[in-house]
Amino acid sequence: MTKILGISAFYHDSAAALIVDGEIIAAAQEERFTRVKHDSAFPAEAVKYCLEEANIGVHELDHVVFYDNPLVKFDRLLKTYFAYAPNGFKSYITAMPIWLKEKLFLKCTLKKELRALAGAQVKKIPIFSCTEHHQSHAASAFFPSPFNKAAVLCLDGVGEWATSSVWLGDGNQLSPKWQIDFPHSLGLLYSAFTYYTGFRVNSGEYKLMGLAPYGEPTYVDLILKNLIDLKEDGTFRLDMSYFDYATGQTMTNHKFDLLFGGPPRKPESEITQKEVDIARSIQIVTEEIVLKVAATVHKELSVDYLCLAGGVALNCVSNGRLLREGPFKDIWVQPAAGDAGGALGAALSIWHGKLGASRNTDNKTDSMRGSYLGKKFNNIEIKNYLDSVNAVYTKQSDQEMLPKLAKILDAENVVGWFNGRMEFGPRALGGRSIIGDPRSPKMQSTMNLKIKYRESFRPFAPSVRAEDVSEWFQIDRPSPYMLFVAPVCEDKQIPMSKEHEQLFGVEKLNIPRSNIPAVTHVDYTARIQTVHEATNPRFHCLLSEFQKLNGCPVLINTSFNVRGEPIVYSPEDAYRCFMRTEMDYLVLENMLLFKGDQPETDDDDSWKTEFAAD
């Protein structure tokens, strides 16, 4: 057996992934274990988990591969600093010690960390290698996909030099075709507006996307005339005189401020119509670029299918437009499309590219196993923890619990759902989820303000049985990873009155737009997850029980965490989150807990202040 460990680390969203003879055995982000959101440290806990899942030790690994090439990245940093000198000197002084201490000596760093995990001198040193950043992205998108031949498009902030890259995947081969290099970056352009509108870069991009439908495209022409030179083929160049990210400490500068009429919004301050309109405008520009690039790629490569990865591939609104309006028969997006997924792509690059292993594809089924690649806790482990904190619970079989839980949800209760293996990637997919009734008009605000402690404008996603998706949403194919936005079916929509149509911005928030208002955004769309019996039979069964009660095979599904905290990993994390919020019930595998039965805790509310600053 060939055992390959892939690692991404030292930038953001560190992760580890293990494949054995090409099968994806385990993958997880480090943040889930350390409870440090977007943890960038060496993923020691994630590596430990992957090895435990396969019941092997470090000494049994055949290959360890890192997801990018630090020497090439260092070359880019030096050339960038020299090109912009003397600007960026402060940033240069800050970055160099880290590089000279750790990142340039990656092989030594990895060996040191793995030896520490082994607990003793490693007798057999695995083969260490590096892929390039976009190669890892491309491999994570194509090799687990259902397609034997496909175009691959990677869009992110920056890897070594590439910010956008196009590849052709054919069988077990990935061939690079062309790329756009730093500093001209669609991902960094979007992040610049994330920063300017007062959200945190590398985590607030979801908020900008969620805010966009409330606004008007007032600034589209301003962006296209001043910030970006966009060609018909989708290639582009940015006017870097407006940006500071190449060498500075911020994303934008004073010239950018003058163009948009003032300084960046301060985090946590009031969101005005200006921020809402800016969000809408940059979202439209992003979608137009993606559509143009996709059309060019389709024309140049003459293939029917497309795979996506990189941080921009998590923009599910753009993905939805590409699915509906683009030239490809089908699209597959890596569920861990950001840097975490690079760990998996790096491992797969060795298996298929370097070792030449073949692939079996049918254009229908991917090899991600629903992205349920994290740890599963059994009922004994859960019982032992609950007993240790004197929690009150009942143990129930699925036959007893799931119909009862459907009634609990039908009564507008909010439920923490801890089920099976943890998801790999940023989305909760019915493994570590908070669920509720999408028909409830009050559920969106209740869950945002009382459970998630986050901005009220942010939409929730629906989970729907795969076989029912087209009856509720205007999409004709699976969306198992919550990476496509599509309109709610017209027969489920509630038209807006003339009075409601006159509302602006977040005033539109509380106007019901469909029979499932809690998951219908202001533009009548939803970010859909299709639930499949083959990959998550228990969650699928719960949806079926809910449908038996009221005819609705849909539930709200949001990640099991509060704002500023990673998605829960363990029963302890789940119970703590349950007790700190206003959730009504908690399901930990076959253990059912009611909030009113639980003993009082000593927790104070100071943690909410910390999360509010996120």
Beta-carbon count within 10 A of 340 CB? 30
* Residue 182 and residue 80 in contact, taking contact as beta carbons nearer than 8 Å: yes
In a domain, 153, yes or no: no
In a domain, 100, yes or no: yes
Total domains in the chain come to 3
Predicted confidence at residue 603, as pLDDT, reads 60
Cα of 36 vs its chain's centroid, Å: 16
In a domain, 157, yes or no: no
Average pLDDT value for the chain? 92
Q: Are both 329 and 344 inside the same structural domain?
A: no
Label residue 164 by pLDDT band (50, 70, 90). Answer: very high
Per-residue pLDDT reduced to its tens digit, 543-562? 999 999 999 999 999 999 99
Predicted confidence at residue 614, as pLDDT, reads 43
Neighbour-count burial of 358, counting CB atoms closer than 10 A to its CB (0-12 exposed, 13-18 middle, 19+ buried)? exposed
- Domain that includes residue 130, residue range: 3-146+336-367
Q: Are both 486 and 564 inside the same structural domain?
A: yes
Name the residue among 201, 230, 217 with its Cα closest to residue 278: 217
Predicted confidence at residue 609, as pLDDT, reads 43
Predicted confidence at residue 607, as pLDDT, reads 44
Predicted confidence at residue 612, as pLDDT, reads 43
In a domain, 166, yes or no: no
Q: What angle do CA 204, 205, 207 make, to 5 degrees?
A: 65
Q: Show which of 312, 344, 367 is a domain's final residue.
A: 367
pLDDT over 70 (residue 122): no
Predicted confidence at residue 30, as pLDDT, reads 98
Label residue 602 by pLDDT band (50, 70, 90). Answer: low
Q: Are both 493 and 451 inside the same structural domain?
A: yes
Q: Are both 360 and 467 inside the same structural domain?
A: no
Average pLDDT over residues 293-306: 98
CATH assignment of the domain containing 399: 3.90.870.20
Q: Are both 198 and 135 inside the same structural domain?
A: no
Predicted confidence at residue 14, as pLDDT, reads 97
User: Of 89-103, 312-326, 548-562, 600-614, which range is least confident?
Assistant: 600-614
Per-residue pLDDT reduced to its tens digit, 562-584? 988 999 999 999 999 999 999 99
In a domain, 20, yes or no: yes
Predicted confidence at residue 295, as pLDDT, reads 98
CA atoms within 13 A on the CB side of 331: 27
In a domain, 164, yes or no: no
In a domain, 151, yes or no: no
pLDDT over 70 (residue 101): no
Q: Are both 428 and 539 inside the same structural domain?
A: yes
Q: Are both 327 and 344 inside the same structural domain?
A: no
In a domain, 520, yes or no: yes
Q: Are both 445 and 584 inside the same structural domain?
A: yes
Per-residue pLDDT reduced to its tens digit, 494-539? 987 777 666 666 666 677 889 999 999 989 999 999 999 999 999 9
The per-residue DSSP string of 254-279 comes to: HHHHHHTTSSPPPTTSPP-HHHHHHH
Q: Are both 189 and 313 inside the same structural domain?
A: yes
CATH assignment of the domain containing 186: 3.30.420.40
Predicted confidence at residue 125, as pLDDT, reads 67
Backbone dihedral angles phi then psi of residue 273, each to the nearest 5 degrees: -60, -30
pLDDT over 60 (residue 595): yes
Predicted confidence at residue 128, as pLDDT, reads 85
pLDDT over 50 (residue 459): yes
127-130 and 63-66 strand pairing: parallel
Predicted confidence at residue 267, as pLDDT, reads 92
Q: Are both 425 and 517 inside the same structural domain?
A: yes
Q: Are both 356 and 498 inside the same structural domain?
A: no
User: pTM of the full predicted structure?
Assistant: 0.93
Q: Show which of 308, 333, 358 is a domain's final residue.
A: 333
Q: Are both 455 and 341 inside the same structural domain?
A: no
pLDDT over 70 (residue 349): yes
pLDDT over 70 (residue 351): yes
Predicted confidence at residue 110, as pLDDT, reads 87
User: Of 70-84, 206-220, 223-237, which range is least confident?
Assistant: 70-84
Predicted confidence at residue 121, as pLDDT, reads 59
